[in-house]
Amino acid sequence: METTIQPSPQTHSRMDASPNGHQDTGHESPTRLVGRDLLSRVQATAGLARANADAVDRESRFPEEAFAAAREHRLLGMMVPVVLGGEGARVSDVADVCYTLARACASTAMIFAMHQIMVAILVRHGQGSQWHLELLRRLADEQLLLASSTTEGQGGGDLRVSSCAVEPDSFGITLTKSATVISYGAQADAVVTTARRSIDAAPSDQVIVAFTKDNYQLEPIRTWDTLGMRGTCSSGFTLRGRGVPEQVLPEHFQTIQSRTMMPVAHLTWSSVWCGVAAEAVERSRRCVRAAARQTAGGQSTAGVTHLTRAIMSLGVLTNTIKSALQKFESACAAEKEIDSLDFQNAMNLLKVTASEMATSVVVGAMQASGLNGYRNDGEFSVARHLRDVMSSSIMINNDRILANSGAASLLANIPASLEG
Ligand SMILES: Cc1cc2nc3c(=O)[nH]c(=O)nc-3n(C[C@H](O)[C@H](O)[C@H](O)COP(=O)(O)OP(=O)(O)OC[C@H]3O[C@@H](n4cnc5c(N)ncnc54)[C@H](O)[C@@H]3O)c2cc1C
């Protein structure tokens, strides 16, 4: 059974892949079924996300219409291997979907990204575990939505320590976590959480445990009323899980985090923020064009300089993400490369670069449109985009990432030529 995430030969939009969507792998059953109709399925989902984006933001509610569509179009299981009922999509396929959804509604796209990070973990690290393979099969079949719980107590974005522990009981295992933030916790069908391996384990001796809805309870401890990303409904809960020992992924969390969770999170999140920035630029371009039409002789307005800068930065951001996706997919095939300092540093810093650039692009778009962009209403408003993209620097704080990358930067390879 082939269940690894396959490296991609090239990274471009795979929404327009081969006509029948099958890649001839030479195997009896195809490993990828991501086809031409992905584009129309994603567009249909994005249409509903766009139609409800303002209400989702205003009411700080889960984007249920978009996720009903995502389920109908079977997008939640797109990365599940074909042999388990999915489409065997790659991380770059998912990144494309994140970008398209983000142009419509940032919260929808971020929920989709967070779900797919958990899927990527199960696909890559659950191979030796029948329990997790069965969960993936169910996920593809029932279009289950997976949430993630790493943030605990006052620990903020420090993923590498847990306070809660997997404890034995007469049934199997239990876990109680003060989960300060679980996006769409109330709407998810399963939660994938970090914890110490056992009650005697050190805070950094962590594992990942998956619980399906029938074996955990959530008691609300904190609401979610934030500046942006309001539709992610990232409230806090006391998470009480009870299951069997097989629900613990066999590999150590450190390996899962460095090889899959961190890179896939940073690639998909960056794609979301890039999509938000692209939408803001599109709106401001329409605004600047409309203003030019009103001037004598159709002269460009002052905003065009800001717009040009925003478009230029958006291009750099897009290329940065594309190149990081290529790097990730080629590294997937080689453990040595994925564990290397260079690769880890590049993936870590992608998050900081993308969040800073996306925020500056949206600010530039607003500046280009002036009051029309700053307003909460009207077709040129980028107010929601600005509030949403502001979450990027604190979603695992950039300061934390930069501080953690300090040592690696001292050892980093400075290229001697443009060829590297
Ligand atoms: C939209 C959104 C959705 C989220 N969804 C989830 C979810 O589903 N599940 C989940 O578990 N969590 C989730 N989170 C939480 C996220 O994973 C982080 O825990 C959170 O963003 C950390 O925020 P923070 O800046 O308050 O905390 P910290 O990272 O703890 O930072 C707090 C302060 O300390 C400073 N700081 C921290 N470390 C250092 C350092 N090493 N050097 C210098 N300064 C430092 C920072 O600058 C900051 O001022 C979500 C967050 C957002 C924004």
CATH number at residue 394: 1.20.140.10
pLDDT computed for residue 175 by the predictor? 97
Say if ligand 1 is within 6 A of residue 392 CB.
no
Same domain, 179 and 307: no
Does any domain span residue 417? no
Of all atoms in ligand 1, which is nearest to the CA of residue 151?
11
pLDDT computed for residue 339 by the predictor? 92
With a pLDDT cut of 90, the percent of the chain lying above it is 80
Same domain, 24 and 141: yes
**Do the Cβ atoms of 378 and 372 come closer than 8 Å?**
yes
Q: Report the candidate in 14, 7, 56 with the shortest Cα–Cα distance to residue 33.
A: 14
At residue 33, does pLDDT exceed 80? Answer: no
pLDDT computed for residue 36 by the predictor? 63
Same domain, 270 and 404: yes
Same domain, 403 and 276: yes
Say if ligand 1 is within 6 A of residue 149 CB.
yes
Taking residues 27-56, what's their average pLDDT? 87
Q: How confident is the model at residue 298 (pLDDT cuts 50, 70, 90)?
A: low
Of all atoms in ligand 1, which is nearest to the CA of residue 395?
21
The H or E element spanning position 61 is: none
Q: Report the candidate in 43, 65, 41 with the shortest Cα–Cα distance to residue 54.
A: 65
Same domain, 284 and 353: yes
* Residue identifier of the C-alpha nearest atom 14 of ligand 1: 181
Same domain, 239 and 384: no
Instruction: State the amino acid at position 238 in one-letter form.
Output: T
From 151, 154, 194, give the residue whose CB has the most ligand 1 atoms within 8 Å, as the site to mutate: 151
* Count of the separate structural domains present in the chain: 3
Same domain, 180 and 54: no
Residue at a domain's end among 99, 117, 145: 145
From 394, 398, 404, give the residue whose CB has the most ligand 1 atoms within 8 Å, as the site to mutate: 394
The range of the structural domain enclosing residue 157 comes to 149-247
What CATH number did the domain enclosing 195 receive? 2.40.110.10
What CATH number did the domain enclosing 38 receive? 1.10.540.10
User: Edge-to-edge, what's the strand order for the sheet holding 206-212?
Assistant: 146-149, 190-196, 206-212
Q: How confident is the model at residue 299 (pLDDT cuts 50, 70, 90)?
A: low
How far is Cα 108 from Cα 42, in angstroms, rounded to an integer? 12
Say if ligand 1 is within 6 A of residue 156 CB.
yes
Q: Which residues pair with 147 in a beta bridge?
A: 191
At residue 9, does pLDDT exceed 60? Answer: no
Does any domain span residue 31? yes
Of all atoms in ligand 1, which is nearest to the CA of residue 184?
8
Q: How confident is the model at residue 7 (pLDDT cuts 50, 70, 90)?
A: very low
The H or E element spanning position 175 is: strand 173-179
Taking residues 163-179, what's their average pLDDT? 95
* Residue identifier of the C-alpha nearest atom 1 of ligand 1: 229
H-only helix segments in 303-340? 303-331, 335-338
Residue at a domain's end among 198, 214, 247: 247
Does any domain span residue 79? yes
Alpha carbon of 397 to ligand 1 centroid (Å): 5
Same domain, 268 and 393: yes
Q: How confident is the model at residue 333 (pLDDT cuts 50, 70, 90)?
A: confident
pLDDT computed for residue 25 by the predictor? 38
| Range in 5-14, 46-55, 72-81, 371-380 with the lowest mean pLDDT | 5-14
Alpha carbon of 31 to ligand 1 centroid (Å): 37
Say if ligand 1 is within 6 A of residue 182 CB.
yes
Say if ligand 1 is within 6 A of residue 272 CB.
no
* Residue identifier of the C-alpha nearest atom 40 of ligand 1: 400
Q: How confident is the model at residue 413 (pLDDT cuts 50, 70, 90)?
A: confident
Same domain, 158 and 134: no
pLDDT digits (tens, 9 = 90+) for 108-153: 999 999 999 999 999 999 998 999 999 999 999 999 999 999 999 9
pLDDT computed for residue 18 by the predictor? 32
**Do the Cβ atoms of 61 and 36 come closer than 8 Å?**
no
Same domain, 397 and 257: yes
Same domain, 204 and 276: no
* Residue identifier of the C-alpha nearest atom 5 of ligand 1: 183
Say if ligand 1 is within 6 A of residue 188 CB.
no
Q: Report the candidate in 402, 404, 403, 368 with the shortest Cα–Cα distance to residue 386.
A: 368
At residue 292, does pLDDT exceed 90? Answer: no
pLDDT computed for residue 31 by the predictor? 78
* Residue identifier of the C-alpha nearest atom 47 of ligand 1: 399
Does any domain span residue 9? no
pLDDT digits (tens, 9 = 90+) for 348-406: 999 999 999 999 999 999 999 999 999 999 999 999 999 999 999 999 999 999 999 88
* Cα dihedral: 46, 64, 60, 239 (round 10): -120
Alpha carbon of 107 to ligand 1 centroid (Å): 17
How many H helices and E strands in the chain?
14, 7
From 397, 401, 404, 405, give the residue whose CB has the most ligand 1 atoms within 8 Å, as the site to mutate: 397
At residue 189, does pLDDT exceed 60? Answer: yes
Q: How confident is the model at residue 29 (pLDDT cuts 50, 70, 90)?
A: low
Say if ligand 1 is within 6 A of residue 222 CB.
no
Alpha carbon of 26 to ligand 1 centroid (Å): 45
Same domain, 321 and 393: yes
Say if ligand 1 is within 6 A of residue 47 CB.
no
Residue at a domain's end among 119, 145, 171: 145
Say if ligand 1 is within 6 A of residue 403 CB.
yes
At residue 70, does pLDDT exceed 60? Answer: yes
pLDDT digits (tens, 9 = 90+) for 220-244: 999 999 999 999 999 999 999 999 9
Instruction: State the amino acid at position 25 in one-letter form.
Output: T
* Exposed / middle / buried, residue 146 (Cβ in 10 Å: 0-12, 13-18, 19+): buried
Does any domain span residue 394? yes
In this structure, what DSSP letter does residue 21 have?
S
In this structure, what DSSP letter does residue 413 have?
P
Q: How confident is the model at residue 32 (pLDDT cuts 50, 70, 90)?
A: confident
Of all atoms in ligand 1, which is nearest to the CA of residue 156?
30
Does any domain span residue 83? yes
Does any domain span residue 4? no
State the greatest distance between any 2 C-alpha atoms of the chain, in Å, as a whole number.
Answer: 81
Say if ligand 1 is within 6 A of residue 187 CB.
no
Does any domain span residue 1? no
Say if ligand 1 is within 6 A of residue 161 CB.
no
Residue with tokens 């996720």: 67
* Residue identifier of the C-alpha nearest atom 18 of ligand 1: 157
* Residue identifier of the C-alpha nearest atom 27 of ligand 1: 156
Strands 146-149 and 190-196: parallel
